[in-house]
């Protein structure tokens, strides 16, 4: 199983029945395809959609329906479409139970950098800053290392922050982390992954949970 699929599958297990959830583009959006049967999640997109479902097939594809990342979506019964102002009123009003966002870096105090690499063009932070402070629960979905093998889980972020100390959970293809006493709290290891491997690839300080489990995927 590829790294991105492992992360998306594990992210989907965090959703509870009735949750209003906003998914960032990339790996977070992919988690919509793995929501367990019987768990009814209300997906919200900041471009103005509420209650959408799986990625469409060629038989039910509608080019006029897309999420905030531009990926096609399907609408479920009871779905609503609305303007950007209404969408951000939902987010800023605290009505989103959980948001899942990708990241360039995360740090052991729960901070996240996910919007710009200095020297490279970025159109702006977008809705990330609103989601990071407006959602009741914030989950980072991130590959554990860069293409060069450098850890993305750091003592302190080196890139410009999107928000400070807001993360509740970080899910990578190797492990699941919470936070405790200003450090990463290792809660789960992916199947076949050793504790030594995770510690070696994590630049931040790590507390190993006394109840360390195998990641269900």
What whole-number distance in Å separates Cα of residue 173 and Cα of residue 213?
14
Lowest mean pLDDT across 20-24, 37-41, 50-54: 50-54
CB 49 within 8 A of CB 20: no
Helices (H), the chain: 3-12, 27-30, 84-92, 128-134, 195-200
The predicted pLDDT at position 109 comes to 99
* Positions of E strands within 34-189: 42-45, 49-52, 75-81, 98-101, 105-107, 112-113, 138-141, 153-154, 169-171, 175-180, 183-189
The predicted pLDDT at position 126 comes to 84
What whole-number distance in Å separates Cα of residue 88 and Cα of residue 45?
10
- Number of alpha helices (DSSP H) and beta strands (DSSP E) in the chain: 5, 13
12 pLDDT above the threshold of 90: yes
167-211 pLDDT, tens per residue?
Answer: 999 999 999 999 999 999 999 999 999 999 999 999 999 999 999
What whole-number distance in Å separates Cα of residue 143 and Cα of residue 145?
6
Instruction: Say which CATH superfamily domain 3-214 falls into.
Output: Glutaconate Coenzyme A-transferase (3.40.1080.10)
The predicted pLDDT at position 37 comes to 92
67 pLDDT above the threshold of 90: no
140-176 pLDDT, tens per residue?
Answer: 999 999 999 999 999 999 999 999 999 999 999 999 9
The predicted pLDDT at position 186 comes to 99
The predicted pLDDT at position 117 comes to 85
36 pLDDT above the threshold of 90: yes
Question: Using alpha carbons only, what angle is made at residue 115 by residues 74 and 208, rounded to the nearest 5 degrees?
Answer: 90
71 pLDDT above the threshold of 90: no
The predicted pLDDT at position 118 comes to 86
The predicted pLDDT at position 199 comes to 99
Domain limits, the chain: 3-214
34 pLDDT above the threshold of 90: yes
| Residue 46 bears catalytic tag | yes
Choose the catalytic residue: 14, 37, 46, 200: 46
């Amino acid at each position: 199983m590829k790294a991105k699929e492992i992360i998306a599958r594990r992210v989907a297990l965090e959703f509870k029945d009735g949750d209003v959830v906003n998914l960032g583009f990339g790996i977070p959006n992919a988690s919509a395809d793995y929501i367990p049967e019987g768990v009814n999640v209300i997906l919200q997109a900041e471009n103005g959609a509420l209650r959408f479902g799986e990625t469409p097939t060629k038989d039910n594809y509608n080019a006029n329906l897309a999420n905030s990342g531009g990926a096609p979506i399907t609408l479920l019964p009871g779905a609503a479409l609305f303007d950007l102002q209404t969408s951000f009123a939902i987010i800023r009003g605290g009505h989103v139970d959980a948001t899942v966002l990708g990241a360039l870096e995360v740090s052991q105090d729960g901070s996240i950098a996910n919007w710009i690499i200095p020297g490279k063009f970025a159109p702006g932070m977008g809705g990330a800053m609103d989601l990071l402070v407006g959602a009741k629960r914030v989950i980072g979905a991130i590959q554990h290392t860069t293409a060069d093998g450098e850890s993305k889980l750091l003592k302190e972020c080196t890139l410009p922050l999107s928000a400070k100390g807001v993360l509740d959970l970080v899910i990578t293809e190797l492990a699941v982390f919470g936070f405790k006493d200003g450090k990463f709290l290792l809660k789960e290891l992916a199947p076949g992954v050793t504790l030594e491997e995770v510690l070696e690839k994590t630049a931040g300080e790590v507390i190993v949970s006394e109840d360390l489990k195998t990641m269900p995927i």
